[in-house]
Amino acid sequence: MIAKVANVELFYKAINFYLANYPLALNDLLIAMIPRLDHARAVNLFIKSKHLPLVKPYLKAVQPADNKTVNDALNGLLIEEGDYQGLRHSLDHFHNFDHIQLAQQLEKHELIEFRRIAAYLYKGNNRWQQAVELCKKDKLYKDAMQYVAESRDSELAHSLLNHFVEISNKECFAACLYVCYDLIRPDVAVELAWRYNAVDYAMPFVVQMLKENVEKVDLLSTDHGERKAAEEAAPAVPHMPVTQLMLTGPAGMMPPAGMPMMGMRPPMGPGGFVPNFQ
């Protein structure tokens, strides 16, 4: 019957009553009041009374509304419980929360999976450098290579390559050449491989790059040959003598009085004087 009352203040009195007397039935009460309950006010009430873990089913039931207060409360609860899978699911489906603040909180977490989520949040907000540095710190090299490939940043790709050869991880060096193939300059890859004795690991990249360059040259040569053959096969255009064009008006139209026609010598005045018609 509580969902039918006109005075919404009775909702919060009912919540306090259930908290004190029937805490196990509190979630049923909250779910019955969902259509008319101010969720931000209710969540703040539970935070102040430190009963937030008790209403986790209610928080999950109202999260599809994507309320910021509800998202923050549930995400914080999942972090306290160490449920990184639940947190990742929450972040993927509900986006109304402070991404950077949560990432800064998680990057110092003791569990690596939560630090991995921090890098994921930085990546989602185009903070590629921070995401990659966090992955490098935790040796999440696969994530680092994927983030660099998504960033489309050649300098970041070269920096990651340099990191791999500096720590003598030649397998990741070869994998990065594959994942970030279109972002890496051949001269940079070959130089790093030569300096750090990793030529064998760079050879697949070099072979593929040479193959593509040869194909491009062959394609250009073919196009040039076809164009030249088409020009030679085209019929010669006969040479037309250049004649002086006469600008004339419509047929039957005569120039104004005193104005000579184009191509005609103006009449001479007395004494051979040629009048100026300009």
The string of pLDDT tens digits covering residues 65-99 is 999 999 999 999 999 999 999 999 999 999 999 99
pLDDT of residue 245: 47
Angle at 79 between CA 99 and CA 59, to 5 degrees: 85
Domain map (residue ranges) of the chain = 153-226
Tokens 């990546």 -> residue: 123
39-66 pLDDT per residue, tens: 999 999 999 989 999 999 999 999 999 9
212-236: average pLDDT = 77
- Percent of the chain at pLDDT > 70 equals 83
Tokens 């490939």 -> residue: 149
Rounded Cα distance between 44 and 247, Å, is 89
Rounded Cα distance between 74 and 53, Å, is 9
CA distances from 214 to 36, 58, 141, 210 (A): 69, 63, 32, 6
> Do residues 134 and 107 make contact, with C-beta atoms less than 8 angstroms apart?
yes
- The residues, ordered by sequence, that sit 6+ positions from 156 with a Cβ below 8 Å of its Cβ are 128, 129, 132, 148
pLDDT of residue 231: 75
105-149 pLDDT per residue, tens: 999 999 999 999 999 999 999 999 999 999 999 999 999 999 999
Assessment of whether the complete model's pTM goes beyond 0.85: no
pLDDT of residue 230: 74
Ramachandran class of 120: left when φ > 0, alpha when ψ lies in -120 to 50, beta otherwise: alpha
Quick check: 249 pLDDT over 80?
A: no
